[in-house]
Structure 1
Amino acid sequence: MTNPLRQRARKQYSEPFREAFGDQVEREFIEQLDAYYSDPRSSLYIHQLEESFYKQRLDHVGWKPYPKDGLVTFGASGTDKCDLEVYYRNQKIKPEKRHDFPFRGRQRRQGTAIIEMVQLDLIHMPVRLGDRAKFRLKKTKSGEYAIEDAAQHRAVYEVEMEDGYKCRFAITAKPDGILEYEGRDLLFEYKTKATGLRTMNGKLDFKGPDAGHMRQVTAESLVFRINEGILLYESTQKPSWFSDEERKSVTKGQKTWREGAPLADVRAFYFSISAEEQHALLHHLAKQARNVYENTKPTVTPEMTNKCAFCDFFYSHCQADQPTKVIENLRQVERQMAKSHMAGKFEHRNLVEYLSAVPEEAGK
């Protein structure tokens, strides 16, 4: 399906009809995946390819520190963090390590394991499908598959801000893959969804790719100077092995087949990043980096609390570190939201959750 929020302009043709390039990329990528996974040989890996893939992964096992050049460095996947988390990460503050729900640990492990299999499958597709494999993993100059650590690159930027301040910082990126398609390079990012088939499809139909994921690929487009690519979403819930449309024991909201076909468990979205989007991201990161250089601690805003659930290191520290005036302002906003149409919605729940964990002595 077409992403309803795609910002790139599309021309409409009637006589003769010509498919828009982005639609073509999405359709042909899904067709390639379907052709491969419906092939009985897809579960049988070729020894030489499997060995080269895992040898490459072993070669990159280990921690690789950033160069000690004094620059704030943003990971592409971390460009959606709130201003305060970025500030804390670059201070001499000991990160907290919180216990989490066990299922979340299993969910993270599941996503990590599946992308490894997807990458291995992409390597096999040209062999199994021949010319039907239109998307192929590129190789680096050293002959490695262009995935993650083998493709990782760090780039330094200098942004002149409105008041003339010149802010230097770095972005590092290691995409899930760089693909070749019709003589052009495409960035590839893969995301798992554990919310279920219906929820995943409904959300993607309504909103398109996640804003944080788009910010990630925008950062990658800057680092690799590749402005287009594919975001692939896969639901970890799969359709019933056989049709459940006529099964009375399965409620309507739980059925995974519709009109004789299984619901989509993978969705591909083509993206094309504009110069304006890159410019906006660079200035956003420059603002965050400047806070670090000038030791200016950002003030918590209600919007920031929407990211707290994914802050693994500074959640409690943040709540205990806020001045009384900031906490009171957040409480006033929460009271207003509770009396408005926002009551009980996502943003309101996140703000309530944040305030519920603020210690009594905070700000004193």
Structure 2
Amino acid sequence: MCALGLAATMLLASCAVTPPGPPGSASPGQPTTAPTPPVLHMPPPAGTVERNRSRWVPASFNELPGWQDEQLSDWWPAMRQGCQNPPTAWATLCTEVRQTSGLPDGLLLRLWAESKLQVYRVESLDGDPAGLLTGYFEPEIPASRKPTWNRKVPLYGPPADLVAKKPYWTRQQLDTLPAARSALQGREIAWVEDPLDALILQIQGSGRLQLTESDGGQRLIRLAFAGHNEQPYKSIGRWLIDQGELTPAQASWPGIKDWARRNPRRVQEMLWQNPRYVFFREEPLLDPSLGPKGAQAVPLTPGRSIAVDPQSVPYGTPVWLDTTEPLSTKPLQRLVMAQDTGSAITGAVRADFFWGWGDEAEANAGRMKQGLKMWVLWPKG
């Protein structure tokens, strides 16, 4: 599909026309072959930006669904975070952002954005503006510094030989082989109750632990990603579908947890279908109101940060989303910041929405699989 956008002309290129034969050249009773119609190649509109996995087509703020209703003051804190480590093209504007104290008036923010930034519609390289939005969150899980009668599932830091041995042991080997288990001894950070809690920490790449210390004290810490075993990621949801255990509509995170509760003897079998294993490092949680650091190396903001394919959208870019809320037709139209990525987040119009932490964030992230259109805002040249 070709997008016309602001194109002023359509060019005729490489028109291969097969001329008909001279009159009377066809065999009796056979129709004369019609000429092959010319092939029209419509170029991208003037001003289009070509990236490795997307193209950006010039647009306007009037094309952003819901723009006039947006509360830009809710977006500004995420923008300020992104300006702590901005892309080169944003250096000048981010200096302005960092020098702005307090929370600017919403009208002033709108005027600033519309005067300083150019809107581009994001499309695939073949001109498709439709894509997919999923969700993710930061798990918050009760844990103990030592194993207890009900917390027997360990979370590990990187083993000493992780770098030297590639690929490293699979998840099943780490659970069953004496040599693999030996490599993990002494690397335990904390212990949780449910193996699915450990898995979701590994899938999300970070999380919060409501930690009971050895002396009985309580504190909140963060586990950050510290490496993995270089094994491929395999979806346990896909495995459950292939086994006929769940339908595609049921294979959300809440659906997977429900299946595990009903099939406790098969949980280990299910976990082993994903050979990838993630290791963590412990970090202090200095500000509980901030999310973990994303791939841009700045803290994520709930509801205002997304993960993207950086070959489609650079980190630190404001992105306008046009989608709906999970399991709903209620519009979700807002300005967010591209501040993270993920192994499953590939393609032009593809994003993962950061919901934050807690039960509500987990429920929304687990159910989110929405159609998406998106636009980027970029400094004017």
Structure with the higher fraction of residues in helix conformation: 1
Relative to the length of structure 2, the TM-score reads 0.21
Q: Which has the larger radius of gyration?
A: 2
Structure with the higher fraction of residues in strand conformation: 2
Relative to the length of structure 1, the TM-score reads 0.22
